Structure 1
Amino acid sequence: MSYLPSPYKRFVDQHPELAKAYEKLALACHNAGPLPEATRRLVKLGIAIGQQSEGAVKSHARRALEEGATADEVRHTILLALTTVGFPAMIAASQWVEEVIEARKY
């Protein structure tokens, strides 16, 4: 991964064994099914939008783009959240994702 947020880096530094176990579990979950990589990243983006977590939305948008999802596919994922999480959450996620897209020039 090209970018790790500072809170996560701090967690890894303070709790290396827990971080290893967490990463192992995350990888096992990630590889447990048939979805293609970019699709898995878009699903995780949708979950992050539902959690209204700026850091997770930005992270999963960035990773989806790195795995081959297009900017339009990421934007569509955000629009799909509208009727589930509501307009304010969708608009916030849209802003966060546009910051990622602009920073990366996708």
Structure 2
Amino acid sequence: MKNIMAEAPEVSRSFFNLTNSVTEYSKMDLKTKELILIGIFTTNRGIRGINTHVIRALEAGATKEEVLGAILLALPAVGISNVTLAFEKALEIISQKEGE
């Protein structure tokens, strides 16, 4: 996203405006939204998204078990490869956050 912000700032502004509109439309609490996004990023191997949204979910009060559970929910739909990749990244982030 940093490269898009640098090279096409108007596109990144539009993207963030859309994201904000969708986020505001949803009446779920922030933790729930972040857990759902973790599941979504798990389905498409979105490691940068996993990184961002695991941190945000933890900051919103999610537990390690809730984060890992959100990833595991994707297992029947997307298979072990995507889930393992997301699971490992989430554990890395959680470990870093616990060490702070």
Corresponding residue of 1:99: 92
Corresponding residue of 1:22: 15
Corresponding residue of 1:33: 26
Corresponding residue of 2:36: 43
Q: Which 5+ residue runs of structure 1 have no aligned equivalent? A: 1-7
Partner Cα separation in structure 2 for residue 84 and residue 94 of structure 1: 15
Shift in Å at residue 20 of structure 1?
1.1
Structure 2 residue 2 is matched with structure 1 residue 13: no
Q: Tell me the TM-score normalized by structure 1.
A: 0.86
- State the SS of the aligned residue for 2:27: coil
Partner Cα separation in structure 1 for residue 81 and residue 4 of structure 2: 30
Partner Cα separation in structure 1 for residue 4 and residue 28 of structure 2: 29
Q: Percent identity?
A: 28
**Two-structure CA RMSD over aligned residues (Å):** 1.3
Q: Which residue identity lines up with residue 42 of structure 1 in the other structure? A: L
Structure 2 residue 55 is matched with structure 1 residue 62: yes
- State the SS of the aligned residue for 2:25: coil
Aligned length: 99
Q: Which residue identity lines up with residue 59 of structure 1 in the other structure? A: T
Partner Cα separation in structure 2 for residue 81 and residue 91 of structure 1: 10
- State the SS of the aligned residue for 1:105: helix
User: Hey, which bits of structure 1, 4+ residues long, moved more than 2 A?
Assistant: none
Partner Cα separation in structure 1 for residue 76 and residue 14 of structure 2: 35
Q: Which residue identity lines up with residue 25 of structure 1 in the other structure? A: L
